[in-house]
Amino acid sequence: MKKFYSKSEKETFQIGIEIAKTFVCGDVILLNGDLGAGKTNLSKGICESLGVKKIITSPTFTIVNDYEIGDKILIGLERVVHFDFYRIESSDEFYNLGIEEYFDENSISLIEWHEKAKEFLPSKTKSISIKILSENEREIIFED
């Protein structure tokens, strides 16, 4: 377990860059935190570190954002998939999304609101929890 403290969005972004350096192809990362905690900002740092060139946006309304890798930072990595299950209401919706197909050895998956999809997730995952300490301060805990 590694613990980080952030006092700004920029620091949260930088922490995402640092954490991503420990990832390997096939990792599934569970992102925990209340609305507005900084999960998407952290994801932006992770994606930049892994070679994503597109602008990273929250998948709250699209549910899945699938980003191809521009620069091959990690051998074998072809894409980063960012899920947000906040608006999902039934297991049928997960089944219809075919989320299991995204979890392969050529991708890294970032999942917000994963609690709703427990039965569809791989047994081995890593976790990042963001706790709001004040308006600008966050505690970020990474468990691999």
CATH of 2-143, one of 3.40.50.300, 1.20.120.10, 3.40.630.30, 3.40.50.10860: 3.40.50.300
* DSSP characters over 10-36: HHHHHHHHHHHTT--TT-EEEEE--TT
Domain boundaries, the chain: 2-143
pLDDT > 90 in the chain, percent: 68
The DSSP bridge pattern shows strands 28-32 and 126-132 to be parallel
Question: What per-residue confidence (pLDDT) applies to 96?
Answer: 83
In this prediction, the residues of the chain whose per-residue pLDDT falls under 50 are none
List, in sequence order, every residue forming a beta bridge with 129; answer none if it has no partner: 32, 141
